[in-house]
Amino acid sequence: MKNAPIRHRHGMLTAALLLAVAATGCSNLSQRDKNTAIGAGVGAAAGAILTGGGTLGTLGGAAVGGVIGNQVDPKKK
């Protein structure tokens, strides 16, 4: 990230800040809803990184991450 353009660094900082603010409002969500939100956030970040900030990559990553997060069940063994 050190060599990333200023515009790219600001976008990543903004996304991280929005994710942090959104996470504070999740106190009344079920564990499955929290897992879905976390999965979508991680997927969006991964999609953005893998596609160089492409919109479709970010949205696709969010969708895939949300589905995976929704299916995670910490109670299963």
Residue 76 lies in a domain: no
**Domain annotation covers residue 13:** yes
What is the total count of domains within the chain?
Answer: 1
Residue 45 lies in a domain: yes
Neighbours of 50 (CB within 10 A): 13
Q: How far apart are CA 54 and CA 3, in angstroms?
A: 18
Q: How confident is the model at residue 71 (pLDDT cuts 50, 70, 90)?
A: very high
Flag whether 1 is in a domain.
no
Amino acid residing at 24: T
Residue 15 in any domain: the answer is: yes
Domain membership flag for residue 30: yes
| Global model pTM greater than 0.75 | no
Phi and psi at residue 75, to the nearest 5°: -85, -20
Residue 40 burial (10 A CB sphere; 0-12, 13-18, 19+):
buried
- Asked if the structure places residue 21 within a domain, the reply is yes
- With CA atoms as reference, report the closest residue to 58 among 69, 43, 47: 47
Q: What is the pLDDT of residues 16-69, one digit of tens each?
A: 767 766 666 666 888 888 888 888 888 888 888 888 888 888 889 999 999 999
Instruction: For residue 38, give its domain range.
Output: 6-71
Whether 77 maps to a domain, the answer reads no
